Chain A
Amino acid sequence: TQLLEQSPQFLSIQEGENLTVYCNSSSVFSSLQWYRQEPGEGPVLLVTVVTGGEVKKLKRLTFQFGDARKDSSLHITAAQPGDTGLYLCAGVRGEKLTFGTGTRLTIIP
Chain B
Amino acid sequence: GAVVSQHPSRVICKSGTSVKIECRSLDFQATTMFWYRQFPKQSLMLMATSNEGSKATYEQGVEKDKFLINHASLTLSTLTVTSAHPEDSSFYICSATPRWGSYNEQFFGPGTRLTVL
Cα A100 to Cα B38 in complex, Å, equals 12
Give the Cβ gap from B45 to chain A, nearest Cβ, in Å: 7
Cβ-defined partner of A97 (8 Å) among B4, B41, B106, B113? B106
Question: Of A31, A43, A44, which is in contact with the most chain B CB atoms at under 10 Å from its CB?
Answer: A43
Give the Cβ gap from A90 to chain B, nearest Cβ, in Å: 8
Is there contact, CB below 8 Å, between A43 and B103?
Answer: no
Total number of residue pairs linking A and B with CB closer than 8 Å: 51
Q: What are 26 sample pairs from A and B whose C-beta atoms fall under 8 A apart?
A: A31-B104, A40-B111, A41-B110, A41-B111, A42-B4, A42-B93, A42-B95, A42-B108, A42-B109, A42-B110, A42-B111, A48-B104, A88-B44, A94-B104, A95-B104, A96-B46, A97-B34, A97-B104, A97-B106, A98-B46, A99-B36, A99-B43, A99-B44, A99-B45, A102-B42, A102-B43
